[in-house]
Amino acid sequence: MGPKRNAVYRCLLNFLPHALCACIFFAPLAVPVNGEQIRGELARSLQIDEQYNPVTASIGLRELIGINFASEEYLKGIVIEITTPDTVLQFRESFMLSVFDTIAPALSPDTGRYSGTKVYSKAFPKFRRTYIDVPLGSSVSWERSSLNSIIIDPAPEADSFPLIITIDPVMKGIPSHISSSIFELTLTPVLIEKGALTLNFSPAEALDAVEVRIDNRRAPLTNGKLYLTPGIHTLDIVSDEFLPHSQSFGIEQARTTNLDIELRPATSSIRFDAPEEAIVFFDGREIDPDTQGSFETDPGEHVVLVRIGDYSVSKKIDLKGGKNYKVSLFFDILINDN
């Protein structure tokens, strides 16, 4: 081995560690941070509104469709129905159907590149109508929308929406009239078998003093709402401070029923224990404890005045509804030994 070749080898050996370090340092930068790379034009974003109405749109090859919802309160999941044109059916194995969640950045017509997690990606099914079932959060109690529906499992959580769905050609030689084909896409919400009840009390503070019973069962309010099965139910309001209230009401699926409940305070019972010569006034009205005994009055603040000869004493009392009170007057003599 000559001197020149030895010099070349020494140069390569000196350079090799630096080259390896550079490769090791820069390699991770080529890996997508947030999963799969998604490229394409966002044709439109579809959203199921708060009334849970189905949504329909068209989708072309290589286009991206965003899928989202306005409220998850009654939403169990979404069924995505794709209708394939007849001209495409003979080339169905030439297309890839893909679904992504956890999309970043936010969907925008001005963005042509996203990253996300691929939750489904297979050759386009052979059927004219393809159904993709997207349970929300859990697929345990999910029932297939059709015999051959595709179920996204594990089910995406609500915070992983919006989704992106796309149909891409994966084979060459597809005729141009096929490449411009349009698919029909429909989003149909699947709703839980529940509706909600909200109670608006008058007076508002009555909420803390009543017990709510639905269909003869105690029903604690959760975030101001009661979630019930659709149908006719009975409501009973029980309280020591207010008169009982009962009524029937209806619950519709995925709808909130609002009831205004006006409660009347339960009356209080009051009686006096005073000497015979005492004159008793209740809210300025003279009463005879011996002949009237106890009597009913509205709850709230009242004034009692008792007069014996030239001596009188008055006091404000606060009566709670549905309670019995006794007002007693005692005189005593205090003796101090100096």
Is residue 251 located within the same domain as residue 277? no
pLDDT band at 315 (very low <50, low <70, confident <90, very high): confident
DSSP, collapsed to helix, strand or coil, labels residue 94 as helix
Q: Which of 134, 169, 191 is the last residue of a domain?
A: 191
Would you say residue 187 lies in a domain?
Answer: yes
| Structure token pair of residue 33 | 């941070």
Residue 308 predicted with pLDDT over 80: yes
Is residue 94 located within the same domain as residue 213? no
Is residue 209 located within the same domain as residue 288? no
pLDDT in tens, 126-166: 788 999 999 999 988 899 999 889 999 999 999 999 999 99
Q: Which of 13-17, 24-28, 174-178 has the lowest mean pLDDT?
A: 24-28
Is residue 156 located within the same domain as residue 49? yes
Determine the Cα–Cα distance for residues 9 and 5; give it in Å rounded to an integer.
6
Residue 314's DSSP bridge partners are 305
Ranges of H-type helices in 239-328: 289-292
Is residue 124 located within the same domain as residue 168? yes
Determine the Cα–Cα distance for residues 67 and 188; give it in Å rounded to an integer.
11
The counts of H helices and E strands in the chain are: 4, 25
Would you say residue 6 lies in a domain?
Answer: no
Say which residues have a Cβ less than 8 Å from residue 223's Cβ, sequence separation at least 6: none
Is residue 274 located within the same domain as residue 256? no
Q: How many domains is the chain built from?
A: 3
* DSSP conformation letters of 298-321: -SEEEEEEEEETTEEEEEEEEEPT
Residue 64 predicted with pLDDT over 60: yes
Would you say residue 56 lies in a domain?
Answer: yes
326 vs 102 pLDDT, higher one = 102
The average pLDDT across 244-249 equals: 94
Is residue 96 located within the same domain as residue 220? no
pTM of the model: 0.69
Is residue 209 located within the same domain as residue 165? no
The average pLDDT across 29-47 equals: 74
CATH code where residue 238 lies: 2.60.40.1120
pLDDT band at 16 (very low <50, low <70, confident <90, very high): very low
Would you say residue 334 lies in a domain?
Answer: no
How many Cβ atoms sit within 10 Å of the Cβ of residue 239? 19
User: What is the DSSP code (8-state) at residue 70?
Assistant: S
Domain that holds residue 200: 195-262
Counting other chains too, the contacts that 1-5 makes at CB distance below 8 Å and 24 or more residues apart are none
